Amino acid sequence: MTIDLNAAFESGLQYFGKMTASISHEIKNVLAIINENAGLMEDLVLMANKGRPLEPERLTTLAGKIISQIQRADGIILNMNTFAHSVDEFQKRIDITETLTLVVSLSNRFASMRGVAVELAPIHNPIRINTNQFLLENIVWLCLDYAMDEAGHGKRVVLNAEKVDNAIAIRFAMPEGVTGDFSRIFPGKREEALVEILAGDLSTHRDRGEIVLTLPTEIKN
């Protein structure tokens, strides 16, 4: 089977752009909240300069909100940095739990907008595979994006991973069932191209509300 490299390249660019735009949106939200609270602190200081007693507890509350947003921004930027470095090497050994945690974190804003709860089930035994990290993140996002559409508002999508012989299976389960009709073509050209490059397999199971992505623990050069 000939791999559709154009579809894979297009998918990668779209994914990188979509996540980068989402991250910048989150950072702007953080800055807006910090700016709002800084403005309130400034108002308290101006009123104090006019003779009104300063209220330490209000300043403490506002300072706490600013610190909380700084910590939030630190987490966002840490994820952005990790995501950006996922393109550093074409192939390397990665930890599946760390990769799935990153993709779920990057997807939280989109899940919230759709009213879908995304959960990562505990993976008790470490699973490491030799693969292309960015392409893996891309196909996991595409599966999650599709699962969120099919699950529907107010539902859950639960990710899990397990090792099966010389492969791993990443499952996207919709435990409350699906509200969609699986009418969208999936996997499409993008998903097929990515799975082919990763030497894996992708299947959908409407009867049990599940998408299964299977990948080898060692991808061949």
Same domain, 134 and 205: yes
Same domain, 128 and 155: yes
Residue 72 lies in a domain: yes
Q: 117-120 and 156-164 as β-strands: parallel, antiparallel, unpaired?
A: parallel
pLDDT band per the 50, 70, 90 thresholds, residue 2: confident
Whole-angstrom distance, CA of residue 191 vs CA of residue 11: 8
Please list, in sequence order, all residues whose beta carbon lies within 8 angstroms of the beta carbon of residue 39, skipping any fewer than 6 positions away: none
* pLDDT score of 138: 98
The residue behind tokens 């735009």 is 21
Sign of the torsion formed by the C-alpha atoms of 103, 108, 113 and 114 = positive
Which residue did the predictor score with more confidence, 212 or 45? 212
Same domain, 201 and 114: yes
> Do 91 and 130 touch, CB atoms closer than 8 A?
yes
pTM listed for this prediction:
0.89
Same domain, 120 and 81: no
Least confident of 73-82, 92-101, 153-162: 153-162
CATH of the domain at 114: 3.30.565.10
pLDDT band per the 50, 70, 90 thresholds, residue 185: confident
Domain hosting residue 173, numbered range: 92-216
Same domain, 141 and 200: yes
Whole-angstrom distance, CA of residue 3 vs CA of residue 67: 49
The mean pLDDT of the chain is 91
Query: Residue range 113-142: average pLDDT?
Result: 94
Please report, rounded to a whole number, the percentage of residues in the chain having pLDDT higher than 90: 69
Q: Rounded to the nearest 5°, which phi and psi values hold at 154?
A: 80, 5
Residue 221 lies in a domain: no
Query: Residue 21: how many CB atoms within 10 A of its CB?
Result: 10
Residue type for position 168: I
Whole-angstrom distance, CA of residue 81 vs CA of residue 88: 11
Query: Residue range 185-214: average pLDDT?
Result: 91
* 3-class DSSP state of 87: coil
Integer distance in angstroms from the first to the last C-alpha of the chain? 17
Q: Rounded to the nearest 5°, which phi and psi values hold at 47?
A: -65, -35
Same domain, 205 and 116: yes
DSSP state of 46: H
The residue behind tokens 């097929």 is 192
Whole-angstrom distance, CA of residue 160 vs CA of residue 126: 12
Same domain, 71 and 105: no
Residue 71 lies in a domain: yes
